[in-house]
């Protein structure tokens, strides 16, 4: 479970949202955004911290060599992914470079907000161990069958490939163990919107009664 107390001048309540692949996180975050809630997606931040010209990209080049950089100076994600699959330690090396930078950028974005609450989407919340960065953890939950079907349609994957993708992430019980709130995305659109509206009211009420301490990032690894 999450947990922080005290107050600061930024966003009132930090809500970390997670869920398995193809569980409906994008649909839910878009619905919150339509309610006027700021949404920060750590997948977007992960791309920003290794954009051309950044220290992050240079750190990746230094760790993995020029072969993971394209001719036009972009990160070659396919080449990097191949390295990670081939070398179990490569993922840890990459995360040591990117995670502190993502945390720092997330802190900047949150500090700039003055809204009652904000949603921060962290798909790999359990795997990264980031649940303590937030006041509430919101899980978007879906059945494994729905996730498999959606990811096969979305990513044009075979059934075995989709199954492997699901197996490589934290399981449902691990996610539920850290969740303060759960959106059950096994039902229809109306039921989903009703859950989101109820949580919006709840988070605004919580934010009115308490505030969060400033999130202090660990800073990039040397």
Q: Is 171 inside a domain boundary?
A: yes
Q: If 0-12 CB within 10 Å is exposed, 13-18 middle and 19+ buried, where does residue 167 land?
A: exposed
Q: Specify if 8 maps to a domain.
A: no
The domain tally of the chain equals: 1
In a domain, 216, yes or no: no
What average pLDDT does range 45-65 have in this prediction? 97
Confidence of residue 150 (pLDDT cuts 50, 70, 90): confident
Q: What is the CATH number of the domain that holds 171?
A: 3.40.50.300
pTM recorded for the entire structure? 0.84
In a domain, 5, yes or no: no
Q: What is the DSSP string of 164-184?
A: HHHHTS--HHHHHHH-SEEEE
- pLDDT tens digits, 165-195: 777 778 888 999 999 999 999 888 999 999 9
Whole-number average pLDDT of the chain: 89
Cα(126)–Cα(19) distance, integer angstroms = 9
Per-residue pLDDT, 211? 56
Residue 91 in tokens? 């993922």
More confident residue, 14 or 24: 14
Average pLDDT (115-128) is 95
Range of the domain at 112: 13-209
Check: CB of residue 184 under 8 Å from CB of residue 138: no
Residue 159 lies in a domain: yes
Evaluate whether residue 121 is within a structural domain. yes
């Amino acid at each position: 479970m999450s947990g922080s107390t005290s107050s600061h001048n930024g966003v009132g309540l930090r809500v970390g949202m997670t869920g398995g692949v193809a569980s409906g996180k994008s649909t839910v975050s878009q619905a919150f955004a339509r309610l006027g809630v700021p949404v920060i997606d750590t997948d977007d931040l992960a791309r920003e911290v290794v954009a051309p010209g950044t220290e992050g990209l240079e750190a990746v080049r230094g760790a993995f060599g020029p072969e993971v950089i394209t001719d036009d100076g972009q990160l070659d994600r396919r080449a990097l992914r191949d390295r990670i699959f081939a070398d179990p330690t490569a993922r840890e090396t990459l995360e040591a470079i990117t995670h502190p930078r993502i945390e720092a950028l997330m802190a900047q974005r949150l500090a700039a907000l003055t809204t009652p609450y904000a949603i921060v989407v962290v798909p790999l919340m359990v795997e990264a161990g980031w649940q303590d960065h937030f006041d509430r953890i919101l899980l978007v939950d879906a059945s494994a069958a729905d996730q498999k079907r959606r990811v096969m349609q979305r990513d044009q994957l075979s059934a075995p490939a989709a199954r492997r993708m699901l197996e490589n992430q934290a399981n449902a019980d691990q996610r539920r163990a850290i969740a303060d709130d759960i959106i059950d995305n096994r039902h229809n659109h109306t039921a989903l919107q009703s859950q989101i509206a109820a949580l919006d009211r709840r988070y605004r009420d919580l934010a009115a009664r308490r505030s969060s301490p400033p999130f202090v990032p660990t800073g990039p690894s040397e």
